[in-house]
Amino acid sequence: MSLARADREPRSPAVPRATAVPAAARSAKRRQHLKSQVVAWAFVAPLVVYLAAFYVYPLYRNVDLSLHHYTVRSFVNGNAPFSGWDNFQTVFDDPTFWTAVRNTLVFTLVSIAFQYGAGLALAVFFSRRFRLSGLLRALFLIPWLLPLIVSSSTWAWMMNSESGLLNYALHFVGVGPVDWLTSPTWALTSVIIANIWIGIPFNLVILHSGLQNIPPELYEAAAIDGAGPWQRFRRVTFPLLRPVSAIVLLLGFVYTLKVFDLIWIMTKGGPGDASTTLATWSYRLGFGSLLPKFGPGAAVGNILIVIALAFGLLYIRVTRRQPA
């Protein structure tokens, strides 16, 4: 938009009274347009090449993997026989499949619900003007900035059955020890707790910046109309925050769906399949044993992509329908 304007404004005074030059002007304009297109694409070209080589091609390889019967040998030689949907059939028939789907959904939805809820409450809290609020908000970022291996191993040690701090705290209030990471009933809950902790700062930061963009006059007007704090939140903050909320929830969904490090480091998806999600299952099939099943592993990965894209396209539709 701005370029088109910049193109025309300095130029139009130089063109003398446009009476007899429509054809010449049009072709000059077209040449100008073509030139600007070439320049624009020159800036974008490295990115396009990069995306083709390091996004599209790996994904193509992944689809290719899932449609062939690969072994370690044929993986290197590249002469695996075509096997059609066999790998997908193997995956669907595996009892782990539905467990992994269920765990993925529970992990993702519960994590997001708590991250968003806590993030929003904290964002509203930190929008009050009080001393140290900036510093404290910055400190809140730490869990999100830490490498996942750091936070995961810290939580794993805190949740250790024998000498973990969490069980000591439970003992302190008179509750028996919980096998956080080693019992099938608790493993998924445990990784969800750690994941919520990691995700809160992201929600806080984005929602807080969204709050800053709400004009203060609206709150003043609402206060004059006699709206209490809760009314102001419900009628002003929440509706005006909806676009930002959509972004946070989509990104949260995408990030959470693909969480692998945290679960793998804390439980390796175990015990049994108790905390196995599609992401950890895919990894376990492809890399987790000495006898890798690349085909089924890639098949699970492709299923994961399809789920992510389904929700991603839903998000794009929702945001497009919003009036900017």
Partner 1 sequence: MSAATDTTRGTGTIRSTRSTVLGVVLTTVMLFPVYWMINVSLTPQQDMRKTPPDLLPLHPTFSGYQAVLHDQGPYLVTSLLIGLGTVALTLLLSAPAGYALARLRPRGGGLLSLVLLIAQMIPGIVMAMGFYGIFLSLGWMNTWWGLIVADSTIAVPFGVMIFVAFMSGIPGELTAAARIDGAGPVRTFWSVILPVSRNALVTVSLFSFLWAWSDFVFANTLDSGGAMRPITLGIYHYIGNNNQEWNAIMATAVVGSVPAAVLLVLAQRYIAAGVTSGAVKD
Closest distance to partner 1 from the beta carbon of 24 (Å): 23
How big is the CA angle at 82 (ends 81 and 84), to the nearest 5 degrees? 150
Among 148, 161, 182, 270, indicate the residue that binds partner 1 (CB under 8 A).
148
What is the SS3 assignment for 154?
A: helix
Instruction: Spell out, one character per residue from 214 to 253, where the chain touches partner 1: x when CB under 8 A holds, - when not.
Output: x-x--xx--x-----xx-xx---x----------------
Closest distance to partner 1 from the beta carbon of 20 (Å): 28
Closest distance to partner 1 from the beta carbon of 101 (Å): 15
Which residues from 89-108 bind partner 1, rule CB under 8 A?
none
Instruction: Answer yes or no whether residue 127 interacts with partner 1 by CB under 8 A.
Output: yes
Which residues from 188-207 bind partner 1, rule CB under 8 A?
197, 200, 205
Using the contact rule CB under 8 A, the part of the chain among 22-30, 109-117, 181-189, 210-218 near partner 1 is 210-218
- Nearer Cβ to partner 1 (82/230): 230
Which runs of E-coded beta strand occur in 98-214? none
Closest distance to partner 1 from the beta carbon of 19 (Å): 26
**Rounded-to-integer distance, Cα 186 and Cα 166, Å:** 13
- Nearer Cβ to partner 1 (110/227): 227
DSSP letters spanning 196-247: HHHHHHHHHHHHHHHHHTS-HHHHHHHHHTT--HHHHIIIIIHHHTHHHHHH
Closest distance to partner 1 from the beta carbon of 229 (Å): 4
Instruction: Answer yes or no whether residue 58 interacts with partner 1 by CB under 8 A.
Output: yes
Distance of CA 14 to the CA centre of its chain: 51
Both tokens assigned to 162: 């024998």
Instruction: Name the helix (H) or strand (E) containing 43.
Output: helix 22-51
Q: Please answer whether residues 137 and 119 qualify as being in contact, where contact means their C-beta atoms are separated by less than 8 angstroms.
A: no
Using the contact rule CB under 8 A, the part of the chain among 20-28, 84-92, 105-113, 144-152 near partner 1 is 144-152
- Nearer Cβ to partner 1 (22/127): 127
Nearest CA to 247 out of 197, 210, 213, 211 is that of 210
